[in-house]
Amino acid sequence: MSPRKPKAPEGQADLFAVPDLFPVRRPVERSRAVNTLAIKMALGEALKAHPESADIVAAKIAEMTGRSLTAFALYSYTAPSKDDHDIGLSRFVAFVRVTGAYWLWDMLVEDDGLTVLQGREAKLAQLGHLEQQHRQLTDDLRKLKRELGNAPVEVKHRRRPGGAK
């Protein structure tokens, strides 16, 4: 049993604590309803945080999708009281691109047990996975070498029938 690590005094941060940057998620119950209220509120939060006006955001979305969109319609997508106004997928994609709120993708898939990684994050996750595989292969090689021991291996010459080598 390893020695217990002493607790830091209250108010003092632990220098070795590493927060989960990419939490492991478990899918929620499949029959659970889609939380449209959370989606609308997240869209509203992203729209408020964006420096451009809703009119400009709507115009850019319209340009990207080839379908007209007004600021009023955009506000309807973000209004919790307008439960019959949901943003379509192509408009959602354009919304994320215009506002730069890529965190919305992660929010959408978290109930399915997924985590969205972007750019370098994905490469780092791939590196970590390959390092795990490398460690496993190294352990397997060591185990096999221990099983074989140091005894010399007798190589048997096998000849094909008919004298061909």
What confidence tens digit (pLDDT) does each residue in 2-24 have? 555 555 555 554 444 545 566 66
Average of pLDDT values for 19-30? Answer: 66
**Helix 71-78 / helix 36-49 crossing angle, nearest 10 deg:** 130
* 63 and 82 belong to one structural domain: yes
pLDDT beyond 70 at 160? yes
Q: What is the pLDDT of residues 102-154, one digit of tens each?
A: 999 999 988 888 888 888 888 888 888 889 999 999 999 999 888 888 777 77
Identify the pLDDT of residue 157: 80
Q: What is the pLDDT of residues 79-94, one digit of tens each?
A: 988 888 889 999 999 9
Could you tell me which of 109, 74, 110, 80 has the C-alpha nearest to residue 92? 74
Kindly state whether residue 94 falls inside one of the protein's structural domains.
yes
* 106 and 132 belong to one structural domain: no
The DSSP secondary-structure symbol of 12 reads P
Identify the pLDDT of residue 15: 43
* 60 and 81 belong to one structural domain: yes
Q: What is the pLDDT of residues 44-79, one digit of tens each?
A: 999 999 999 999 999 999 999 999 999 999 999 999
* 96 and 41 belong to one structural domain: yes
Q: How many domains does the chain have?
A: 2
Q: Of residues 26 and 119, which shows the higher confidence score?
A: 119
* 69 and 50 belong to one structural domain: yes
Instruction: Please provide residue 35's backbone torsions phi and psi, each rounded to the nearest 5 degrees.
Output: -85, 80
* 56 and 91 belong to one structural domain: yes
Q: What is the dihedral of CA 49, 53, 58, 63, to 10 degrees?
A: -110
Are 74 and 47 in contact by the 8 Å Cβ rule? The answer is yes
Interatomic CA distance for residues 111 and 38, integer angstroms: 12
What domain range is 73 assigned to? 36-112
Identify the pLDDT of residue 31: 67
Identify the pLDDT of residue 4: 55
Burial 126-138 (b: 16+ CB within 10 A, else e): eeeeeeeeeeeee
* 87 and 136 belong to one structural domain: no
* 44 and 95 belong to one structural domain: yes
Interatomic CA distance for residues 103 and 96, integer angstroms: 9
CA angle 60, 64, 69 (to 5 degrees): 60
